[in-house]
């Protein structure tokens, strides 16, 4: 978490830094700061959003052509002005911005205190900048050498940029475990956590790899080295992102824009990867490893949050269609519980950001145990994408709203193609059924469009239940993970307690919660469990619960029982999550707006969880 941005070149740095920080705010937004160097090193930082920082700097000296900026998601120390970045070394010569965690900061801090250093903040970052200062003093080292030597002493994750008050012509930046991209413009350079602060200035970028650092000079020269001091060659890549992709495009919030983008996102995710008429599927990465996949003894998904819900749908799809045993693991548990992993297991990591620390660590652990790693990521060039042996991008475009929406449906689309391709290779699906599902997959964008037209009706339902303290979401089969995802969407952006359950599990506990104040959202579209879900709805009604049911268009039976029905277009059961999640995303969005919540930047959250 945390967003970092730095600039060196002929332009005014401050406006570039502030604009960049606003684009990175999704990564953390509890405080923000900049350091600009113009003879003097000026540091301005404020608790709160980047806009607070902007107000604070009005009338202050921000004119400089080199600077660093940071937007924070607090790890060590509460969000306040003092703990905000940048942090200065004791001499005031060095300023640093840092995304990540230094795990052994306390022992280093005690050692530095013994040597006379004083600390003003509670952060691990202030320890790091003083360690660099101390190394520089002890070893009479250049800034580059001091940074490298210091980083070899720390344990943890970081993306850092350091500047020196006495050298306005150089930036030193390094990464391990946190993302970093360098933008290369005309005699100017940018460094940032992702490409969004860079995109309007240059499309030429270099992604720094783990355990690498770069020294960037104002004269236009730069080089990359490993933390072992070995020079690395670097490939300049062209950004595929455009400016309009990271703007709101007329929507009030990124989340709403991203919900409404889903028809296009699904169409983009399947483009060039399947042909319904001819019945072929070619998912990049699977082709080269088809044998490995088709003969896998087991597929293990590892992911977090919404991506973990996609993984559950992946489990249902692959077991149902391709008949390969699947396990779904929370990456944070998987990485630490000493799991049994064999060479003929395939590990699939799912991650929108491609930077989630636990998911990344889980695949590194599985790689050491010789498993094949397949990554399903949205962010191109992200750490998980690069750490995987093969993979597929979801191509959903930048997802900026902190609550994941379009990335979820794009992930499910990829998983559907994967399950079908494996089923075809293993002969577990007939060619007619395969074609039927592929044809229907092509119809999904239009069906989502229809579901999006329910927006006004969903807003009315939101108005009725916006003050509820609890919600239950119930579904069966493919709609069980959708229930989990619906509950997560609601709690993370509206702060209403919500739980998702398999509908039949209700009577093993949650039914005790049901009274006239409990709204229960039922997903009642799947034919295979229809009668059973009707019984579950009756059980809730018998206890005076309020039922909001998502049903197929034209459903009469549920209408006679439920307080509200939301009719979505019917589809193949295996594809139903792609449609049934839409009203749940809209419901959580409208409830959150009506409760005055910041839907794009919910409290305590960050888009990219690069700490464990």
* Positions of E strands within 233-273: 237-238
3-class SS of residue 343: coil
3-class SS of residue 268: helix
Quick one: which segment of 83-91, 316-324, 345-353, 472-480 binds ligand F6R (CB under 6 A)?
345-353
- For residue 332, state whether it binds ligand F6R (rule: CB under 6 A): no
Element housing 520 (H / E): strand 519-523
Angle between helices 13-24 and 50-57 (to 10 degrees): 160
Residue 377 catalytic?
A: no
Instruction: Indicate the length of the chain as a whole number.
Output: 612
Residue 198 neighbours by CB under 8 Å, 6+ apart: 20, 181, 183, 190, 192, 205, 239
Catalytic residue among 2, 304, 377, 597: 2
Phi/psi for 567 (5° steps) reads -95, 120
- For residue 396, state whether it binds ligand F6R (rule: CB under 6 A): no
Which residue lies nearer to ligand F6R by CB, 121 or 353?
353
Which residue lies nearer to ligand F6R by CB, 307 or 552?
307
Minimum Å distance from CB 371 to ligand F6R? 19
- For residue 196, state whether it binds ligand F6R (rule: CB under 6 A): no
The answer to whether the CB of 173 falls within 8 A of the CB of 180 is yes
Binding test (CB under 6 A) with ligand F6R, winner from 170, 306, 394, 571: 306
ω into 193 cis (within 30 of 0): no
Residue whose tokens read 């239940």: 465
Phi/psi zone of residue 544: left (φ > 0), alpha (ψ -120 to 50 degrees), beta? left
Minimum Å distance from CB 407 to ligand F6R? 6
The C-alpha atoms of residue 19 and residue 16 are separated, in whole angstroms, by 5
- For residue 361, state whether it binds ligand F6R (rule: CB under 6 A): no
Minimum Å distance from CB 254 to ligand F6R? 12
Which residue lies nearer to ligand F6R by CB, 70 or 607?
607
Q: What is the DSSP string of 35-59?
A: EEEESEEEEEEEES-HHHHHHHHTT
- For residue 610, state whether it binds ligand F6R (rule: CB under 6 A): no
Element housing 445 (H / E): helix 431-452
Which residue lies nearer to ligand F6R by CB, 126 or 399?
399
Minimum Å distance from CB 196 to ligand F6R? 15
Which residue lies nearer to ligand F6R by CB, 379 or 518?
379
- For residue 68, state whether it binds ligand F6R (rule: CB under 6 A): no
The C-alpha atoms of residue 87 and residue 547 are separated, in whole angstroms, by 52
Tokens matching residue 563: 């307080």
Binding test (CB under 6 A) with ligand F6R, winner from 205, 403, 565, 575: 403
Minimum Å distance from CB 116 to ligand F6R? 41
- For residue 492, state whether it binds ligand F6R (rule: CB under 6 A): yes
The answer to whether the CB of 348 falls within 8 A of the CB of 311 is yes
Catalytic residue among 176, 203, 546, 607: 607
Binding test (CB under 6 A) with ligand F6R, winner from 57, 71, 307, 571: 307
**Residue among 479, 477, 473, 439 at smallest CA distance from 319:** 477
For ligand F6R, the binding residues in 452-491 under the rule CB under 6 A are 488
* Positions of E strands within 48-188: 66-72, 87-88, 94-102, 156-164, 167-176, 181-184
The C-alpha atoms of residue 182 and residue 214 are separated, in whole angstroms, by 9
Minimum Å distance from CB 306 to ligand F6R? 3
Residue 546 catalytic?
A: no
Minimum Å distance from CB 117 to ligand F6R? 36
3-class SS of residue 182: strand
Which residue lies nearer to ligand F6R by CB, 130 or 411?
411
- For residue 353, state whether it binds ligand F6R (rule: CB under 6 A): yes
Quick one: which segment of 64-72, 352-360, 554-562, 583-591 binds ligand F6R (CB under 6 A)?
352-360
- For residue 351, state whether it binds ligand F6R (rule: CB under 6 A): yes
For the four alpha carbons of 501, 506, 509 and 513, in that order, the dihedral sign comes to: positive
**Paired sense of beta strands 372-377 and 390-393, if any:** parallel
The footprint of ligand F6R on this chain (CB under 6 A) covers a number of residues equal to 15
> Binding pattern to ligand F6R, positions 286-305, x when CB under 6 A?
------------------xx
Binding test (CB under 6 A) with ligand F6R, winner from 75, 202, 302, 352: 352
Minimum Å distance from CB 357 to ligand F6R? 9
- For residue 601, state whether it binds ligand F6R (rule: CB under 6 A): no
- For residue 356, state whether it binds ligand F6R (rule: CB under 6 A): yes
Question: Footprint of ligand F6R on this chain (CB under 6 A)?
Answer: 304-307, 351-353, 356, 359, 403-404, 488, 492, 608-609
Which residues belong to the active site? Answer: 2, 607
């Amino acid at each position: 978490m945390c967003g970092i941005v730095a600039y060196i070149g002929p332009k005014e740095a401050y406006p570039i830094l502030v604009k960049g920080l606003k684009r990175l705010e999704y990564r953390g937004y509890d405080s923000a700061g900049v350091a600009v160097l113009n003879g003097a090193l000026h540091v301005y930082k404020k608790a709160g959003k980047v806009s607070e920082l902007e107000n604070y700097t009005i009338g202050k000296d921000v004119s400089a052509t080199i600077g660093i900026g940071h937007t924070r998601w607090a790890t060590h120390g509460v969000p306040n002005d003092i703990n905000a970045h940048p942090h200065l070394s004791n001499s005031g010569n060095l300023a640093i911005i840092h995304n990540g965690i230094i795990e052994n900061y306390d022992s280093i801090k005690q050692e530095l205190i013994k040597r006379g250093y004083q600390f003003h903040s509670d952060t691990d970052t202030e320890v790091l900048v003083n360690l660099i200062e101390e190394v520089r003093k002890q070893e009479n080292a250049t800034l580059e050498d001091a940074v490298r030597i210091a980083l070899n002493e720390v344990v943890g994750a970081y993306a850092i940029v350091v500047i020196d008050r006495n050298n306005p012509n150089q930036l030193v930046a390094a990464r391990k475990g946190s993302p970093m991209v360098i933008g290369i413009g005309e005699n100017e350079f940018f460094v940032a956590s992702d490409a969004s602060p860079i995109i309007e200035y240059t499309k030429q970028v270099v992604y720094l790899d783990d355990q690498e650092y770069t020294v960037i000079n104002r004269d236009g020269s730069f080089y990359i080295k490993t933390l072992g001091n070995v020079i690395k060659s670097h490939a300049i890549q062209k950004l595929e992102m455009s400016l309009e992709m990271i703007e709101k495009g007329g929507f009030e919030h990124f989340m709403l824009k991203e919900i409404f983008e889903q028809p296009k996102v699904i169409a983009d995710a399947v483009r060039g990867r399947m042909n319904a008429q001819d019945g072929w599927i070619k998912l990049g990465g699977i082709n080269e490893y088809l044998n490995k996949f088709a003969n896998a003894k087991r597929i293990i998904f590892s992911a977090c949050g919404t991506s973990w819900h996609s993984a559950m749908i992946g489990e249902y799809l692959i077991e149902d269609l391709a008949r390969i045993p699947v396990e779904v693991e929370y990456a944070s548990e998987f990485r630490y519980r000493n799991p049994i992993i064999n060479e003929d297991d395939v590990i699939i990591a799912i991650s929108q950001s491609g930077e989630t620390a636990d998911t990344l660590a889980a695949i590194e652990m599985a790689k050491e145990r010789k498993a094949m790693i397949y990554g399903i990521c949205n962010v191109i060039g992200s750490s998980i994408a690069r750490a995987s042996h093969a993979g597929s991008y979801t191509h959903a475009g930048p997802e900026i709203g902190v609550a994941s929406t379009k990335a979820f449906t794009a992930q499910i689309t990829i998983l559907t193609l994967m399950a079908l391709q494996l089923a075809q290779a293993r002969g577990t699906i007939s060619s007619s059924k395969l074609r039927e599902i592929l044809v229907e997959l092509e119809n999904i964008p239009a069906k989502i469009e229809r579901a999006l037209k329910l927006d006004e009706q969903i807003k009315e339902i939101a108005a009725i239940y916006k003050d509820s303290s609890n919600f239950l979401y119930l579904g069966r089969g493919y709609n069980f993970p959708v229930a989990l995802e619906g509950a997560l969407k609601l709690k993370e952006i509206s702060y209403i307690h919500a739980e998702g359950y398999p509908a039949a599990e209700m009577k093993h506990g949650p039914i005790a919660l049901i009274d006239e104040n409990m709204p229960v959202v039922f997903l009642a579209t799947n034919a295979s469990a229809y009668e059973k879900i009707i019984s579950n709805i009756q059980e809730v009604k018998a206890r005076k619960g309020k039922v909001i049911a998502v049903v197929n268009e034209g459903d009469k039976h549920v209408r006679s029982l439920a307080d509200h029905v939301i009719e979505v277009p019917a589809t193949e059961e295996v594809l139903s999550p792609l449609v049934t999640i839409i009203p749940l995303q809209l419901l959580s969005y409208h409830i959150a707006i009506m409760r005055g919540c910041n839907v794009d930047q919910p409290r305590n959250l960050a888009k990219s969880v690069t700490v464990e």
